[in-house]
Structure 1
Amino acid sequence: MDHFLPTTKKEVESLGWDALDVILISGDAYVDHPSFGPAVIGRWLEAMGLKVAIVPQPNWQDDGRDFAKLGRPRLFFGITAGNMDSMVNHYTATKRLRHDDAYTPGGRHGFRPDYATIVYTQWVKRLFPDTPVVIGGIEASLRRLSHYDYWQDKLRPSILMDCPADLLVYGMAERPMTDLVRIFRTDNWREHLHECSQIAFITDDYKKYCG
């Protein structure tokens, strides 16, 4: 590895790339270390020969320029809230707002939204509605089924019902990402979802996948 994964258009161009295969979006700062999931997955995809970039802690409160700055990837966007559920990151067990963030430079607070996976996905789908979005990480993994939300004190449906992501990857993502790269290269990737492990998605045709 003779370079970091690019995070800006200038860094992409410095590598001689005219387009990206995958763009990862994370609620954490970009740290090229195996304790940070997006860095691990980014390097895994890079080892597969893909051109990968990361957008760390995008600004969700303006016109969405951070989500659009690298353009449209050839294969998909990968979105994660980061190493922690964004609500655990923001609030204490007594629902008081935390004043620091261990996954932001300088420990500063306020660089990711509540329910970050949902907010980021909404922005990406608003800008690139036809590009597949895959969500993952601890927030998506633990909210993939109906769950009790402590912060709202109510049951919430699967996170896939609350955000417009196409697919959810849960747990360690190296193996399912390998499968997804393969099927996203086909003409009709939805027809190959039954070939992938550790994924969740919304469908009306459940008999096709569970029969």
Structure 2
Amino acid sequence: MGSDCHHVQVFTDVLAGLLHLLEARLPRFITLLRRLQFTNFATGKTDSARIIIASDMPLQERHGNTPNSNIIRHFTAAYLDPSLGLDTNMWPSLAVCASVRLPSTTGMVWGTGTAWDCELVKSRTSVPRSVELLLTLPSLFIKLEDGTPVAWAFLAVDGSLCSVHCEEPFRCRGLAKTVSAKLLRTKTSSFGNDNFAAADVAPDNTSSQEMWPF
């Protein structure tokens, strides 16, 4: 076969060789790596999931005594799961977040999300994520001492930030940025230990863009 030939493969399970291929190229492929790592979660994979790889040579677990992923030079990979709707996503962007402390406000505490909290989260966004899905995602909340949520953020199935929100009476205090940064800093280890985190912001989402003024 000529050097310009390529191979397309479709898998239902995550190959260790693909993980090695992506890890060697961090942070460029951080969201795809996170999505593949999410398949290790209790509800992180369905029967509809497919992993598609196009590369200059077939991806295998081993090539002699050397992992095949060390030999592949050019490739494109995607994770598709039609059953999850918009949570099959492929975003090229990434953001690096600095350490941020909780603003000096009284009467607020860090908290986790309950089913009732996730109902509130669902009502505050136009993105159709179910309560059941939200409960499986790593998340962090800032709440009043009586348990009322005032700001929150989630990590999507690809490890990127999603559903970041701050309730109207508590805005302009840095709460959304703070809960997002702490979530990225403390919960990305649920996916892997490479110390990378990612965020994607739509060009027309001005409020989210103001959180990361790079």
Q: Verify same fold: TM over 0.5.
A: no
Task: Write 1 or 2 for the structure with the bigger share of strand.
Answer: 2
Report 1 or 2 for greater relative contact order, CA contacts < 8 Å, sequence distance ≥ 6. 2
The TM-score with structure 2 as length reference comes to 0.30
* Greater radius of gyration (CA): 2
Structure number having the greater helix percentage: 1
TM-score relative to the length of structure 1: 0.30
